[in-house]
Amino acid sequence: MMDLAGNLTEQLEELKMFQRVDQELGATLDFDNVLMLTMDWALRRTGAAAGAFVTFSEQDEQLRSLVALGYPNPRDKTWQLNRSIIGRAVRTRQSQIVTDLASDPDHLPEDALSETRAAVAVPIELRGKVIGVIWLESEIPDTFTAANVAFVQRLAQRAAIAFDHARLYREAARQADEMASLYTASRMISATLERPQVLATAAQALATTLRVSLVVIADYCKLKDEIEIVHAYRLATARRAAAVLPQIGSVFAIESLPEVRYTIETQRSCSYTVNARTLSETLRNFMIAHSVRSLLIVPLVTSPTAINMQQIDTVGVALVMESRHDRYFSEEDRALAEALGSQIASALRQARLYAEVRELEEIKSHMIRMASHDLRNPLGVAMSYFDLLIESLGEQNFSEAQKRYIQRINNAHQAMRTLITDLLTLEKVESEREGIWQEIDFNALVSAEVEAHRAAADLRRHTITLQLPANTLYVRGSAAQLRQAISNLMDNAIKYTPDGGLIQVRLSAKERRLLFEVQDNGYGISKERQDRLFSLFYRAREPGTDHITGTGLGLSLVRTVIERHGGRVWVNSEAGIGSIFSFWLPLAQNLNA
Ligand code: ADP
């Protein structure tokens, strides 16, 4: 009777314990925590003196302790599968209970504490496979009773599941980390349009995300069927820093590099180790020359563009290399490298386009400047002789048709002269030095410009209003340039407003800036064209404005002038309603601001 009651109490105790085990193991996704908790429970319940959570890897048949409690020294120990009690538990999939260690043929003295007499090894199984062993030892021979062993077996089942959850969680966390670093890397790579910077960040991103010591980027030239090394990067912390970096500018024929050809043709990455027998001569020599042990060749393939869906180009390859130790590149490593490779290829393509556009821009500006200088004089000469000719022929002798021709020639001349003058003003502003800047009374400047435009406005029956601040606002700068900027904005308001419009000019100050605005109720500009208004030669051509002549230079001059004076210009406009062109400028220090 007493026994039965005792037994029941024990079972109840055990049930309660497992409830807590389940709670605690279920509450943690931390790998180390699962192991610690398991071992802690096992030792407490069995009264063992020491114990270890041993993992078993099927691949290399290795038994290694992950957590060891009760040993005098930290224990990172391995056991032999064929010669240890732990190994026997794995092989037989049975719990091994040993009451007299010394007489067990599989026991090696270094596998336990010297005072240990008894031990138990309980296999941990998950989905029909042994994934580890719980090992416990004690100096008391009869510590491991059947009840104790049964408890450890049940604990092992629970630990296996918790262990699996924690492993999955750890894997997911690693993948999330990988995604995050991929994201950061690709942002870094596409943050610049300058090729040298793209190459540098690309190589660095590959080295850090794949944790390798050396990365080389090579351009691929399809026409010559060769690759050229354009960048090499070594992790600062990589040892063997004495090893030479591959020479920038070295060229290799693809013919001699079947491994690179394979990657270029299949657009798939592929890994090699230096002692692989099938390695090509060239690649082996390259690897030896740079002390490389493992290498991953990554294709740099651009993704299709919105403009050309078919355009998938291999622009080069990245050689991702490890010189410190042998490195196995997993499926995930390769996927990561390929994803980065395509980012790098796109960034390189962008950089190339950017360089091309910039070069064209420079050529264009240069041509324009040369042309305008060279055109101005001959045009002046031609027109003076034309006037002389007309005068000497006597205007009264011309027919109506001839008079119309003359008018057209004059109009064309006028247009050319405006274009040349605008271009030269622009160039002058860009090259003028700030040495000649002075303090300018901006109220006076604005009033004068408004007055100067009254006649032109009257011709179109426009009303101009002017609103000035009570204080005089001062700006440091070039009066001629600023006058030109204001004048261009007013010219435009007059030009791009149908007859009888209202043009409101306002000047005000806020904080340490002045705000200048010209508002009209004219044709306006639709949103999609507003971005480009301030670019050289851009003309918006809204409906109704076809007849208005211009060069598309006025607003780019305004922008150049305002930005050179430390300000900013912008537009608010709606097609068919009107526009407000505004700019702000910093006020000169301490003056009526
Ligand atoms: P343009 O010589 O053509 O006037 P600008 O550089 O001064 O050159 O202006 C660029 C374009 O911006 C003009 O062609 C016109 O389409 C548009 N624009 C400028 N000012 C106005 C305005 N006040 N209202 C409507 N459109 C304007």
Per-residue buried b or exposed e for 291-315, using 16+ beta carbons within 10 Å of the residue's own CB: bbbbbbbbbbbbeeeeeeeeeeebb
Write out the residue limits of the CATH 3.30.450.40 domain(s) in the chain.
13-172, 190-348
Residue of 482, 473, 490, 497 lying closest to 548 (CA atoms): 497
**274's tokens:** 């230096």
Under a CB-based contact definition with an 8 Å cutoff, are residues 142 and 149 in contact? no
**Which pLDDT value is given to residue 109?**
87
Helix (H, G, I), strand (E, B) or coil at 112: coil
Mean pLDDT in residue range 73-79? 77
Residue of 310, 304, 308, 302 lying closest to 342 (CA atoms): 302
* 446 burial level (CB within 10 Å; 0-12, 13-18, 19+): buried
User: Comparing 307 with 593, which gets the higher pLDDT?
Assistant: 307
**591's tokens:** 């003056």
Contacting residues for 572 by C-beta, under 8 A, at least 6 apart = 579, 580, 582
One-character DSSP codes across 116-130: --EEEEEEEEETTEE
Q: Nearest 5°: CA angle at 281, between 275 and 287? A: 55
CB distance 579 to ligand 1 below 6 Å: yes
Under a CB-based contact definition with an 8 Å cutoff, are residues 215 and 318 in contact? yes
**Which pLDDT value is given to residue 253?**
95
424-477 residue pLDDT tens: 777 777 666 666 788 999 999 999 999 999 999 999 999 999 999 999 999 999
**170's tokens:** 């750890």
Under a CB-based contact definition with an 8 Å cutoff, are residues 118 and 137 in contact? yes
Average pLDDT, the chain: 87
**Distance between Cα 251 and ligand 1 center (Å):** 52
Alpha helices per DSSP H over 49-130 = 85-92
**Which pLDDT value is given to residue 591?**
45
Give the C-alpha separation, 284 to 114, whole Å: 51
Closest-CA residue, ligand 1 atom 19, reads: 492
Residue of 537, 523, 535 lying closest to 569 (CA atoms): 535
CB distance 148 to ligand 1 below 6 Å: no
Per-residue confidence band for 275, with pLDDT thresholds at 50, 70 and 90: confident
Closest-CA residue, ligand 1 atom 14, reads: 539
User: Comparing 446 with 32, which gets the higher pLDDT?
Assistant: 446
212-229 residue pLDDT tens: 999 999 999 999 999 999
**Distance between Cα 559 and ligand 1 center (Å):** 13
Closest-CA residue, ligand 1 atom 23, reads: 493
**Which pLDDT value is given to residue 240?**
54
Contacting residues for 151 by C-beta, under 8 A, at least 6 apart = 14, 45, 46
Under a CB-based contact definition with an 8 Å cutoff, are residues 283 and 200 in contact? no
Which ligand 1 atom is the nearest neighbour of the CA of 488?
7
**Which pLDDT value is given to residue 318?**
97
Write out the residue limits of the CATH 3.30.565.10 domain(s) in the chain.
434-586
Please name the fold of domain 13-172. Answer: Beta-Lactamase (3.30.450)
What angle in degrees, to the nearest 10, is found between the helix axes of 195-210 and 146-189? 180
Under a CB-based contact definition with an 8 Å cutoff, are residues 420 and 553 in contact? no
Enter the pTM of the model.
Answer: 0.47
Q: Which residue has the tokens 């850090």?
A: 208
Per-residue confidence band for 310, with pLDDT thresholds at 50, 70 and 90: low
CATH number for the region 190-348 comes to 3.30.450.40
CB distance 567 to ligand 1 below 6 Å: no
Q: Do you know the residue count of the chain?
A: 593
**Which pLDDT value is given to residue 67?**
86
pLDDT above 90 (res 316):
yes
pLDDT above 80 (res 29):
no
Residue of 447, 536, 465, 544 lying closest to 501 (CA atoms): 465
pLDDT > 90: percent of the chain: 47
User: Comparing 375 with 592, which gets the higher pLDDT?
Assistant: 375
CB distance 533 to ligand 1 below 6 Å: yes
CB distance 523 to ligand 1 below 6 Å: yes
pLDDT above 60 (res 239):
no
Per-residue confidence band for 308, with pLDDT thresholds at 50, 70 and 90: low
Widest distance between CA atoms in the chain = 145
pLDDT above 80 (res 178):
no
**Distance between Cα 354 and ligand 1 center (Å):** 27
* Residue 84: how many other CB atoms lie within 10 Å: 23
Mean pLDDT in residue range 380-404? 90
The second-level CATH assignment, the architecture, of 434-586 is: 2-Layer Sandwich (3.30)
**Which pLDDT value is given to residue 592?**
45
46-57 residue pLDDT tens: 999 999 999 898
Closest-CA residue, ligand 1 atom 11, reads: 539
pLDDT above 90 (res 6):
no
Residue of 79, 54, 78 lying closest to 130 (CA atoms): 54
Under a CB-based contact definition with an 8 Å cutoff, are residues 69 and 76 in contact? no
Contacting residues for 313 by C-beta, under 8 A, at least 6 apart = 301, 302, 345, 349
**Distance between Cα 211 and ligand 1 center (Å):** 55
Which residues, listed in sequence order, are joined to residue 137 by a DSSP beta bridge?
50, 119
Per-residue confidence band for 111, with pLDDT thresholds at 50, 70 and 90: confident
Give the C-alpha separation, 153 to 146, whole Å: 10
CB distance 496 to ligand 1 below 6 Å: yes
Helix (H, G, I), strand (E, B) or coil at 184: helix
Give the C-alpha separation, 47 to 65, whole Å: 20
CB distance 552 to ligand 1 below 6 Å: yes
